[in-house]
């Protein structure tokens, strides 16, 4: 029998037991819906995590430190021979910074400037952590949903507040935009060999450059300074400007401004004792690369230059492993419902064989081959699977939307931003409908084969 | 009966020592026991016998609905006993047409759809089907009832519809199993007239199972009588009657 005739006969048969076949199809739809909902939830959460993390700027960055500081990154302990070596670890100074910037696929190299300090706002002192933000961080997406604006220039005396810190300053964070605050900090002032340190004490910190530095005497003094900054934005996510150190920055300022402040760093004391007072060196440098794919190769190159590195790649791999296991578990639970639904198909078709026993006998008497009968039942099973699959995808999408709406309603009550926790892709639709179709065909195998094997003489006698 | 070795030897259908046994519990039932018959093309043969004589089993064997336990059944030079199930399906679709006592129309299909069904199974071109259906229903005078379902037809009309369905694929042999068994005497006679007309006008071979000796004698050319699965008598209808 030709496929068109088979399809027409199958459609007629499905219509004739419309209630039972509809319920069976609905069962498949529920099974597919659970599969789609679980899968979309898994993928949605994975995408949410990936987006949030990629917005943090950690995925296209390599954090570079000197070999001597590697332990501070949680890296492996250096071999004893290296630790006891008389050869000094390579310094992370401006020469190294320029060398790093010339590595292929490196977009930008900048130091981590992060320090705890006091802030005066409307006469009220608060302790916080300040972080220097490079202009390139604007592209990370971390500032996409910020209130206010990004820095107007690399040397603008402007500040962006992290939302928690902004809440410490005012209940209505929007009201902070346009207001000023004062940064109070300790500037590192090198002691010139032939001049007392007081001479340099009253220069403007923000407008100072390294060229102004007098020949170093080997020591420095700490001078209290103030810097007025205008609040121009409030952000919920802080971009990654470095790793380790002082923790998250709650007050963000342009990186160039942060560098010009010449804040005393914990390593200054060590460098002074070692006599490393020539060129300024950095605790860490952040190397931003063109794509997360090249992180590994850039990291290897930097290691070859004698520096210690750390990237978030390993953490990403662990996250991917977690989501693979998570998605697999969701798939298994989703598939259980589909398995139960497929048993419904077997039941429906076996019932149909009993009911249509005589009809099968008549078909065979009129010339239907075993193959025709088998294919007829296959088409019926496949049609139920296909229809159930399409309905299931729609139902799964609705469940995903309902979960997202419910979650966002809860998040709104908690004053948190809305998120999309479920995500349906075309490949998911194709997979769900395909799985539904093939599972239904597999479920139809036994009934179809049983119908095909019916003895026509016995079937014709059946009342 | 002539020579009977390996082919139908010009007969429309021929059996050679054919037997069909069933296991019923521990007992073995010989439904058809070593029966050899031959039916010439265009011949109208009645298989006569009481209930359980094996005549319907023999008809099912000729139709290719059942397989013999032993012996051979030849139709158009082919031995049905050696055919695959696919070949037997082709035999049922193209060589024979069947009419049953219970009509066996599909109740949810219209008359037109019932008659078209064998054409679907035989993969006849869709464009050709309407004309074939019309030709078949006109032969049994049911052209006006095409859209009716079996439940809307009388018993005689249902049997005529079944006859149209059996003829639509233009078979060479018509096998009828008690075609008048469910009909009143008058309607039964009308069906028998129709079978006789088909036999005469189309030169179609007809093998009809019946237990009605009078009708068998009136309409068939030849009567084969069976009892307990065995062939008892065989001869021209006027001789047997």
User: Which chain A positions have a beta carbon within 8 Å of B83's beta carbon?
Assistant: none
- Interchain CB contact of A367 with B (< 8 Å): yes
Residues facing A180 on adjacent strands: A230
Task: With respect to residue B72, please indicate whether it lies within any of the assigned structural domains.
Answer: no
Q: What pLDDT, in 10s, does the model give residues B123-152?
A: 999 999 999 999 999 999 999 999 999 999
Task: With respect to residue B164, please indicate whether it lies within any of the assigned structural domains.
Answer: yes
For residue A430, the tally of other CB atoms under 10 A from its CB is 12
Count of domains observed in chain B: 1
SS3 A356: coil
Closest of A243, A320, A324 to residue A56, by C-alpha: A243
CB contact under 8 A, B100 and A358: no
pLDDT at A242: 47
CB contact under 8 A, A460 and B104: yes
Q: How far is B2 from chain A (nearest CA, A)?
A: 31
- Interchain CB contact of A451 with B (< 8 Å): no
CB contact under 8 A, B89 and A9: no
**Using CB atoms, which residue from A362, A371, A457 is nearest to B106?**
A362
Task: With respect to residue B155, please indicate whether it lies within any of the assigned structural domains.
Answer: yes
* Cβ pair B108, A16 in contact under 8 A: yes
Task: With respect to residue B151, please indicate whether it lies within any of the assigned structural domains.
Answer: yes
Contacts of A80 (CB under 8 A, 6+ apart): none
Sign of the dihedral through C-alpha A302, A306, A307, A308: positive
User: Which chain B positions have a beta carbon within 8 Å of A457's beta carbon?
Assistant: 60, 65-66
Q: Domain limits of chain A?
A: 3-53+319-461, 60-111+282-311, 113-280
CB contact under 8 A, B60 and A372: no
Task: With respect to residue B225, please indicate whether it lies within any of the assigned structural domains.
Answer: no
Size of interface A-B (CB pairs under 8 A): 66
**What ipTM goes with this model?**
0.92
Q: Return the residue of A nearest to B162 by Cα.
A: A366
Q: What fold is seen in the domain A60-111+282-311?
A: Alpha-Beta Plaits (3.30.70)
User: Which chain A positions have a beta carbon within 8 Å of B169's beta carbon?
Assistant: 367
Task: With respect to residue B161, please indicate whether it lies within any of the assigned structural domains.
Answer: yes
Pick the more confident residue, A58 or B108.
Answer: B108
Task: With respect to residue B135, please indicate whether it lies within any of the assigned structural domains.
Answer: yes
Q: What pLDDT, in 10s, does the model give residues B9-51?
A: 678 999 999 999 988 888 889 999 999 999 999 999 999 998 8
Kind of pairing between the strands at B173-177 and B96-99: parallel
CB contact under 8 A, A367 and B86: no
Task: With respect to residue B94, please indicate whether it lies within any of the assigned structural domains.
Answer: no
CA-to-CA separations, A72 to A83, A243, A308, A310, B66, in angstroms, rounded: 14, 10, 11, 11, 87
**Using CB atoms, which residue from A4, A359, A457 is nearest to B106?**
A359
- Interchain CB contact of A5 with B (< 8 Å): yes
Q: Return the residue of A nearest to B59 by Cα.
A: A457
pLDDT, one tens digit for every residue, chain A (463 residues): 899 999 999 999 888 888 988 988 998 898 889 888 888 888 888 888 777 666 666 677 888 888 655 554 444 554 444 444 455 667 788 888 889 999 998 988 888 788 888 899 988 898 898 888 888 777 666 677 788 888 888 888 999 998 888 988 888 888 889 999 999 888 877 776 655 544 444 444 444 444 444 455 567 788 888 899 999 999 876 555 444 433 467 889 998 888 888 887 766 766 666 665 556 677 788 888 887 778 888 988 998 888 888 877 766 677 778 878 887 888 888 778 778 878 888 888 888 888 888 899 999 999 999 999 999 999 998 999 999 999 999 999 999 899 889 998 998 888 787 888 888 889 889 988 998 899 888 888 888 898 999 999 988 887 6
Q: How far is A2 from chain B (nearest CA, A)?
A: 6
* Token pair in block for residue B142: 């049911």
A7-32: string of b/e by CB count within 10 Å (b at 16+)? bebbeebbeebeebbeebbbbbbbbb
* Cβ pair A44, A350 in contact under 8 A: no
Tell me which residue range forms the domain holding B143: 107-170
The Cα B125–Cα B49 span in angstroms is 41
Residues facing A231 on adjacent strands: A159
């Amino acid at each position: 029998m030709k496929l068109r005739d088979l399809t027409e006969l199958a459609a007629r048969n499905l219509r004739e037991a419309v209630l039972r076949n509809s319920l069976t199809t609905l069962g498949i739809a529920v099974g597919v819906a659970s599969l789609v909902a679980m899968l979309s939830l898994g993928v949605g959460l994975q995408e949410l995590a990936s987006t949030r993390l990629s917005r943090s700027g950690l995925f296209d960055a390599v954090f570079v430190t000197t070999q001597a500081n590697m332990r501070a990154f949680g890296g492996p302990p250096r071999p004893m021979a290296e630790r006891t070596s008389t050869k000094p670890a390579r310094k992370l100074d401006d020469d190294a910074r320029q060398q790093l910037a010339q590595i292929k696929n490196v977009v930008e190299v900048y130091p981590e400037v992060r320090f705890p300090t006091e802030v005066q706002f409307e006469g009220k002192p608060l302790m916080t952590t300040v972080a220097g933000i490079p202009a390139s961080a604007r592209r990370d997406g971390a500032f996409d949903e910020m209130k206010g604006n990004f820095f107007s220039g690399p040397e603008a005396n402007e500040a962006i507040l992290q939302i928690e810190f902004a809440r410490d300053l005012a209940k209505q964070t929007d009201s902070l935009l346009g207001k000023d605050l004062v940064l109070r900090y300790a500037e590192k002032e090198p002691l010139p060999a032939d001049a007392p340190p007081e001479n340099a004490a009253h220069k403007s910190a923000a407008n100072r450059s390294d060229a102004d530095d007098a020949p170093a005497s080997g020591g420095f003094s700490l001078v209290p300074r103030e810097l007025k900054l205008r609040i121009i934005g409030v952000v919920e996510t802080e971009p990654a400007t470095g790793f380790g150190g002082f923790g998250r920055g709650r007050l963000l300022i342009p990186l160039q401004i942060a560098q010009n402040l010449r804040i005393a760093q914990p390593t200054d004391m060590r460098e002074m004792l070692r006599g490393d007072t020539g060129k300024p060196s950095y605790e860490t440098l952040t190397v931003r690369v063109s794509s997360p794919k090249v992180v590994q190769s850039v990291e290897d190159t930097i290691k070859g230059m004698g520096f210690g590195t750390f990237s978030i790649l390993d953490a990403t791999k662990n996250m991917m492993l977690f989501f693979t296991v998570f998605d697999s578990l969701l798939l298994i639970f989703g598939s259980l419902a589909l398995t139960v639904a497929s048993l419904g198909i077997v039941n429906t078709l076996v019932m149909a064989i009993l009911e249509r026993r005589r009809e099968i006998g008549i078909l065979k008497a009129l010339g239907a081959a075993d193959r025709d009968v088998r294919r007829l039942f296959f088409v019926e099973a496949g049609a139920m699977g296909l229809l159930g699959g399409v309905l299931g995808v729609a139902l799964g999408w609705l469940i995903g939307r309902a979960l997202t709406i419910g979650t966002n309603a809860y998040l709104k009550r908690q004053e948190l931003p809305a998120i999309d926790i479920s995500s349906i892709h075309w490949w998911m639709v194709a997979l769900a409908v395909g799985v539904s179709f093939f599972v239904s065909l597999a479920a139809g195998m036994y009934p179809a084969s049983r119908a095909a094997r019916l003895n026509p003489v016995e079937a014709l006698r059946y009342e | 009966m002539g020579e009977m070795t390996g082919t139908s030897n010009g007969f429309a259908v021929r059996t050679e020592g054919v037997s069909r046994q069933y296991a019923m519990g521990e007992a073995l039932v010989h439904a058809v026991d070593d029966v050899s018959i031959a039916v010439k093309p265009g011949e109208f043969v009645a298989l006569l016998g009481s209930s359980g004589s094996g005549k319907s089993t023999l008809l099912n064997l000729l139709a290719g609905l059942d397989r013999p336990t032993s012996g051979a059944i030849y139709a158009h030079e082919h031995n049905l006993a050696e055919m695959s199930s696919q070949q037997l399906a082709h035999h049922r679709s193209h060589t024979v047409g069947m009419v049953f006592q219970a009509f066996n129309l599909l109740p949810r299909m219209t008359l037109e759809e019932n008659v078209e069904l064998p054409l679907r199974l035989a993969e006849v071109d869709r464009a050709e089907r309407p004309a074939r259906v019309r030709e078949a229903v006109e032969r049994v005078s049911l052209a006006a009832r095409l859209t009716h379902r079996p439940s809307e037809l009388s018993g005689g009309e249902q049997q005529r519809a079944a006859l149209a369905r059996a003829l639509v694929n233009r078979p060479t042999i018509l096998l009828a199993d008690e075609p008048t068994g469910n009909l009143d005497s008058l309607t039964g006679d009308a069906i028998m007239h129709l079978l006789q007309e088909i036999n005469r006008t189309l030169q179609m071979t007809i093998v009809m199972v019946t237990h009605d000796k009078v009708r068998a004698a009136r309409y068939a050319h030849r009567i084969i009588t069976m009892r307990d699965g065995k062939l008892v008598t065989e001869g021209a209808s006027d001789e047997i009657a």
